[in-house]
Amino acid sequence: MSETEKREPGTALAMSGGGFRATLFHLGALLRLNELGLLRRLTVITSVSGGSIASGYLGYRWNHLTFDDRGVATDLVPKVVEPLAYTVTPVGDESVRVLARAGSIIPQQPVACSSFGSTTCRPRFSP
């Protein structure tokens, strides 16, 4: 059997690692794929590290998403993007503040976290 014959039909997405920054990057990629109606067409996602955080949470929430007739998940942001962004985003990270100023997915609503003393952090998602 040739290599071509072993391939299964479908659309795959590979999500690389890199910690929480990779998770945030992949949330942006998922947003764009969704805007284009491609997210629902995915048949396989392979991932490592920060990419696995994003893909795992997407998989966890997949059956709760509502897709319109164009294949766009109309509630991807509130059900996947915002909760995960809150979870992995440290407030003091300058790259995150730059993304927020650029109008990205991370609302600027820090709250005091007693477990971190005087530092502030974003609200954490709890399922």
Q: How far apart are CA 84 and CA 25, in angstroms?
A: 12
Mean pLDDT calculated for residue range 78-99:
69
Task: Tell me what pLDDT residue 99 has.
Answer: 47
Residues 6+ apart with CB under 8 A from 111: 120, 121, 122, 123
> How many other CB atoms are found less than 10 A from the CB of residue 106?
20
Burial class (CB in 10 A: 0-12, 13-18, 19+), 88: buried
Q: Residue 100: pLDDT above 80?
A: no
Which residue in the block uniquely carries the two structure tokens 């509130």?
Answer: 78
What is the value of pTM for the model shown?
Answer: 0.68
